[in-house]
Amino acid sequence: ASRNEKQPAAYFGVHVSFGADGTATLGATDGTRFASQDIEWSSFDEQFGQDPEWGTRQIDPVLLPASALLEAADSFAVAEAVEMGMAGGVVALRTPERSLTMVMPAEVGKFPAGALPALWAYERPMAVTFRAKDMVLPLRRADQLKHAETEAITLAVSEGSIAVTAHGGEAAGAGGDTLDAEYEGEPFEIILKSPNLHTALATARGENVTLAFGAEARKGALITDDADSTWRHLIVPLRPVGGTK
């Protein structure tokens, strides 16, 4: 979610849509990246117990404040399940041990949820797979040298490897760490904001992650992992994917 106060309020929240198949999709964006994760859910009524019609009932999406949801994640980290109740723009989360109440932003309809299916489905023929932990030190080294304003790094992908360097300013090209990767095809370069890649890799659940790219930069670079097919991050590059020099 965004931390830029000049952006729409919808970008400060986590959008939750409820599917009839028992899956709830959580999504967040700051305008240059999207993140998505599916979780299990079921409809429940305190008086009548399990709702027999939950599979067919349409429940409107909600927008939860990201900061409050982070607090809830810490509070309920060891809970097996969390109950959520909604009424009058207020959401209550609770377990037998504790509860937390938050006010929903009014701009749930302005979250660009409708654009996500097409972005996820966009064909990205260039895909490189590597171990998430192998990227940590190269990113850290490039971070120390990157341009302060753009926070940009360059990933130079070739068969079997990724070279990570700072981009822009006097330190352009510095860093130069290389990690093993699975990739076959023509070499290419992509320029990304380092914090965006950091955030995505920090939440990956699997050992290996895949970055997939297409010709249209505005469609974003899709990051997935090998442990959870519903975990997805989309990062818009700072420059279209291009061949290496």
Confidence band of 138 (pLDDT split at 50, 70, 90): confident
In whole angstroms, give the CA distance from residue 89 to residue 13: 14
Write down the residue that tokens 């797979």 correspond to.
129
Q: Give the tens place of pLDDT for each residue, 29-53.
A: 887 788 888 888 877 555 444 555 5
- In the chain, alpha helices (H): 66-75, 116-121, 136-145, 194-202
- R_g (Cα) of the chain, nearest Å: 20
Query: Is the backbone of residue 176 left (phi > 0), alpha (psi -120 to 50) or beta?
Result: left
pLDDT tens per residue, range 204-222:
889 999 999 887 777 888 9
Q: Which two tokens stand for residue 105?
A: 């932003």
With a cut of 90, say whether residue 105 has pLDDT above it: no
Amino acid symbol at 30: D
DSSP 38-85: EEE---EETTTEE-TTTTT-----EEEEHHHHHHHHHHTTT-S--EEE
Instruction: Provide the edge-to-edge strand list for the sheet that holds 13-18.
Output: 62-65, 13-18, 23-29, 33-40, 232-235, 221-225, 208-213, 126-131
Q: Tell me the whole-structure pTM to 2 decimals.
A: 0.76
DSSP 244: -
CA distances to 50, 149, 230 from 27, rounded to whole Å, are: 26, 27, 11
Region 11-15: mean pLDDT is 79
Quick one: what percent of the chain has pLDDT higher than 70?
Answer: 78
Residue 226: the pLDDT is 92
Residue 105 · residue 13 · CB < 8 Å: yes
